[in-house]
Amino acid sequence: MSWKFKASKYKNTVPVEPKFDKHIRELSIGSYHSCGNFIAASSSFVAFNWDTIGSSLAVLPLTASGRPDKASIPRVDGHSDMVTDFAFSPFDDGLLVTGSQDQNIKLWRIPEKGLVTSLSTPEMALPEQPRKVETVGFNPAVHGILASSCGTSASVWDFSVGSQIFEFGEHEDKVQCCSWQQSGGLLATQSKDRYLRILDPRSSNPLVSSTSSHDGMKDSKVVWIGEDRVLTSGFGEDRARELILRDTRNLSTPQFVLSLDVSSGILIPLFDPDTNMVFLTGKGDRYIQFVEVQNSEPWFVQGLRYTGEQIKGGCLVPKRAVDVMQCEVNRVMMLGNSSIVPIMWQVPRKSYR
């Protein structure tokens, strides 16, 4: 039973909320419904849905704070309907991809010094989709590759030439989440048909494995934990929120199932591969919980939670932007009802040099 006393590097990590004047506040944020996260960040910028419709994205410097002038906030105005999902490239802080209910996927170039005026001309527009775009995401290992989902299909695009290079349309219901393996080889999808699938876009038989996932009907999400494990969040039969950790080499048998609270908020897992910390942001919740994922029992080490205002979305800031001299190991940009709060997760030390 020695595993019960296994030391964790990050179990004492504490969330530190900045002073009120460091919040980005009094923003025009609506109530949106999609599979996306409504906020994304690079090492230089933060983007989020703007106004009640959400067809525009406001783009601010990551260091922004205080109360900006709403009329002068620069925006990405390129869609005729709500932007359902968007993401910054891990290789280029100024490259942003957006997917929308207007069935379009577009790539945008944010200047190095930031937007001065609103941007309406994309750097590239991919072919129009048959239905609204649900998710978009860059490959974490290969520049020029991104994945998207639309209806019951998951696709992979080579945006260096603007063409589709892979499509898997055998989901039996809407695809709710697509997640790239850290090495960029495999793709995990979670669908409304309550199945988890592992896909290999390079293979002539792309379906590597599949298994039934969460029993609840609400949205489920999936993230890769290392190269051989995936973590899904969803709802159980008893309507309690739950996490399921699986090894992709034996996908049908969960390594561990963690039942959480009974709440209607859809859990968005934000995984940091450097620390194995997973931040759980629930849409409509007032707290962010983090767990550290282990390679053996106990599979999850739960840490301190942050409690604040109601959450509409959240994202992790790339490690290039964290303050290592303050022992900051992660930063979560939390989107609230009318503000963005940058929450620092800090490993306490007697002194910071």
CATH classification at residue 119: 2.130.10.10
Looking at the domain assignment, is residue 132 inside a domain? yes
Looking at the domain assignment, is residue 353 inside a domain? no
Looking at the domain assignment, is residue 327 inside a domain? yes
pLDDT of res. 1: 43
Looking at the domain assignment, is residue 130 inside a domain? yes
- Please list the rounded mean pLDDT of every run of 10 residues in the chain (353 residues): 58 90 92 89 96 93 93 92 96 96 96 93 95 96 95 95 94 95 96 96 95 90 94 91 94 92 87 92 89 87 89 94 91 94 89 63
Amino acid at 351: S
Is there a contact between 293 and 300 (Cβ–Cβ < 8 Å)? yes
Query: Structurally, how many domains does the chain consist of?
Result: 1
Looking at the domain assignment, is residue 255 inside a domain? yes
Distance CA 286, CA 278 (A): 17
pLDDT of res. 239: 86
- Rounded to 5 degrees, φ, ψ at 319 are -65, -25
Residue entry with tokens 């525009």: 56
Looking at the domain assignment, is residue 56 inside a domain? yes
pLDDT of res. 3: 47
Looking at the domain assignment, is residue 352 inside a domain? no
Is there a contact between 51 and 30 (Cβ–Cβ < 8 Å)? yes
pLDDT of res. 303: 87
Looking at the domain assignment, is residue 351 inside a domain? no
Strands 267-272, 306-307: parallel, antiparallel or unpaired by DSSP? unpaired
pLDDT of res. 2: 44
Is there a contact between 132 and 119 (Cβ–Cβ < 8 Å)? no
- List the beta bridge partners of residue 235: 241
Nearest to 166, CA basis, from 194, 113, 204, 131: 204
Is there a contact between 248 and 202 (Cβ–Cβ < 8 Å)? no
Query: Domain range spanning residue 202?
Result: 2-346
Distance CA 279, CA 54 (A): 25
* HEC string for the chain: CHHHHCCCCCCCCEEECCCHHHCECCCCECCCCCCCCCEEECCCEEEEEEECCCCEEEEEECCCCECCCHHHCCEEECCCCCEEEEEECCCCCCEEEEEECCCCEEEEECCCCCCCCCECCCCEECCCCCCCEEEEEECCCCCCEEEEEECCEEEEEECCCCEEEEEECCCCCCEEEEEECCCCCCEEEEECCCEEEEECCCCCCCEEEEEECCCCCCCCEEEEECCCEEEEEEECCCCCEEEEEEEHHHCCCEEEEEECCCCCCCEEEEEECCCCEEEEEECCCCEEEEEEECCCCCCEEECCCEECCCCCEEEECCHHHCCHHHCEEEEEEEECCCCEEEEEEECCCCCCC
**Could you count the other beta carbons within 10 Å of the beta carbon of residue 82?**
21
Distance CA 250, CA 254 (A): 8
Token couple for 347: 């490993």
